[in-house]
Homo-oligomer: A and B are copies of this chain.
């Protein structure tokens, strides 16, 4: 059985393990104050071309989201999210558990736009309702779509005009930045959001997300919040070493490009077999619509999520590729599909 279920099925990129081995018996400071973490932060600042951002490393996305959002908001302030947003649906109420409402806005393509923020602001008129204060977006979105530079500029401009914080969940940021449709450089991001994170777990790390705080007023005392929410690893070097490896020689982008290429290969192959897609995605998640019988057939050799029922006879799948996806497995999947589809 080969799995297209997600992009965290394997361990870490070999370079990372190698670096862990080499540094293993060295003594370092704890809690992210070691030379590796410091080095990783320095390297990330170079990649971002910004020395005035604060960078903190976390061991998971939910941990990052809940720590950042609760650190930045007062208790009556709320987050706006697309109805597909990870913080809204898939984090067991982590944000609410820190005391904040997540306002759901119905969108079509997973993307929050100024109009949605406007609507949320208009609906929340007085002190009997929460006050929308942050816009949460994911890039790529939970359904694989990405934001174009112009979209982010408009969104961020709108947020700033309305005194709102723009937060980008970058769990799969590499895949967005390496998408063929993308027109954003990683160094553009500090100009396009108040805060964002660069996801490592889903792009070759054992674990690790790097949170970038760009807006001055959000930086103060942030390490207190990491500790309070349980995210301050004693051996913080574990994340420093990984981010150093990922951004040395741009391995991070190389891995994301591979994941995207594997997804694109699948997409083209599936399309050639005559199938449509639920969503037009250019990242490492694709959503082909297949007849149920064919799906059952594929399930004998492949693991993947059946995403959504389309009609009595057809369903959409979610296929996810990663830095570790093998070209031969992709080829084999397409060959099998061709064969079954005849």
Contacts and interface: CB of A to CB of B under 8 A. Distances in A.
A156 interface: no
Contact of A228 (B94, B231, B232): B94
A2 B97 CA distance: 43
Contact of A11 (B20, B66, B89, B226): B20
- Of A202, A221, A223, A237, most buried by chain B (CB within 10 Å of CB) is A221
A295 interface: no
A74 interface: yes
Q: How many copies does the complex hold?
A: 4
B8 A25 contact: no
Interface in A258-308: none
Contacts of A6: 30, 234
A21 B101 CA distance: 41
A23 B9 contact: no
A201 B30 CA distance: 11
A15 B24 CA distance: 12
B230 A67 contact: yes
B24 A94 contact: no
Contact of A99 (B91, B96, B230): B96
Given A90-B128, A92-B127, A97-B99, A9 B24 contact: no
- Of A64, A98, A101, A201, most buried by chain B (CB within 10 Å of CB) is A101
A182 interface: no
A233 B12 CA distance: 14
A28 interface: yes
Contacts of A30: 5-6, 8-9
Contacts of A20: 11-12, 17, 20, 206
Interface of A: 2-3, 5-6, 8-12, 14, 17, 20-21, 23-30, 59-67, 70-71, 74-76, 78, 89-94, 96-102, 104, 127-131, 201-202, 206-207, 221, 223-235, 237-238, 324
- Which 7 A-B residue pairings sit nearest by Cβ, starting from the closest? A63-B230, A76-B224, A11-B24, A92-B228, A9-B27, A93-B130, A93-B101
28 contacts: A5-B30, A6-B30, A6-B234, A10-B24, A10-B26, A11-B23, A11-B25, A11-B238, A17-B17, A21-B21, A59-B207, A60-B230, A60-B232, A60-B234, A66-B229, A71-B75, A76-B92, A90-B129, A91-B128, A91-B227, A92-B225, A93-B99, A93-B100, A93-B101, A97-B98, A97-B100, A201-B234, A202-B234
